[in-house]
Amino acid sequence: MNIFAIIGRLTLDGLAALGRLSLFASHALRHLVLPPLFLKNIGQQMMVIGYNSLPVVGLTALFTGAALAQQIYVGSERFNAESTMAAVVVIAIVRELGPVLGGLMVAGRVSSAMAAEIGTMRVTEQIDALVTLSTNPYKYLVVPRLIAGVITLPGLVIVANIIGVFGGFLVATQRLGFNPGSYLTVTMNFLEVTDIVSSLVKAAVFGFVIALMGCYHGYYSTGGAQGVGRATTNAVVSAFILILLANLIITITVFQS
């Protein structure tokens, strides 16, 4: 096959997908502001995204915070800068690791489940059935998931931040001989409002991305079980990449040197 044909085909496919995603997102946002809202569906989704994700997000934060503290200690010991450990841990967790790792774990759990559920509804004509029953699928399926994602992720990330810092605190006080009181004082002194706000903004953006990718890939899945499988994979992969990209953009914008 001609190399130019391949490049052209890939470019066209890419642009078509981008256009379809933009249309999908704008439809969803339009229905987000127009009544009616399906409150019961929002509540259900908040349980699925938020509450059910607590164990996995909490454990991730605990282990990461603990490992981070150990690494920072070993690294800073060489410059006799062990006293900065608490500050580095809290800033790293709140600014980056809490929201990013929390977002990625939830993406793995939730984007895939959303894509599989909506994808199955697509291939078994349940979405068509919704339309014939005068119910807009964007309103009934997509909007509740987007709202639940944007509301619950910040809550999860607050929990992740606290547990992450606590993981570092455990290693510092139980293993490395830090004084608990002074560790917490340093932690509180170095944490600024900007850190917390940026952490929550990131979480809300990631929540939107997670729900959007799950819904989009499910909504446009075709071709039976195989298609649903493909949609699930694509939802997780694209959510991961978009979360990391969005994180970079927000970090650069908020924390200018």
Residues near another protein, by CB under 8 A: 121, 124-126, 128-136, 140
CB closer to another protein out of 13 and 125: 125
CB closer to another protein out of 125 and 192: 125
Indicate the DSSP class of residue 134. T
Candidates 202, 155, 117, 152; CA nearest to 47 is: 152
CB closer to another protein out of 66 and 143: 143
CB closer to another protein out of 48 and 68: 48
Cα angle 74, 75, 76; round to 5: 100
CB closer to another protein out of 26 and 185: 26
125: left (phi over 0), alpha (psi -120 to 50) or beta: left
Cα angle 211, 216, 221; round to 5: 130
In the block, which residue shows the tokens 């959510």? 239
Long-range contacts of 72-81 (CB under 8 A, 24+ apart): 73/171, 73/172, 73/176
Q: Check if the beta carbon of residue 160 is closer than 8 Å to that of residue 61.
A: yes
Q: How far is the CB of 221 from another protein (least distance, A)?
A: 15
What sign does the dihedral 53-85-195-190 (CA atoms) show? positive
Angle between helices 193-219 and 112-123 (to 10 degrees): 20
CB closer to another protein out of 77 and 128: 128
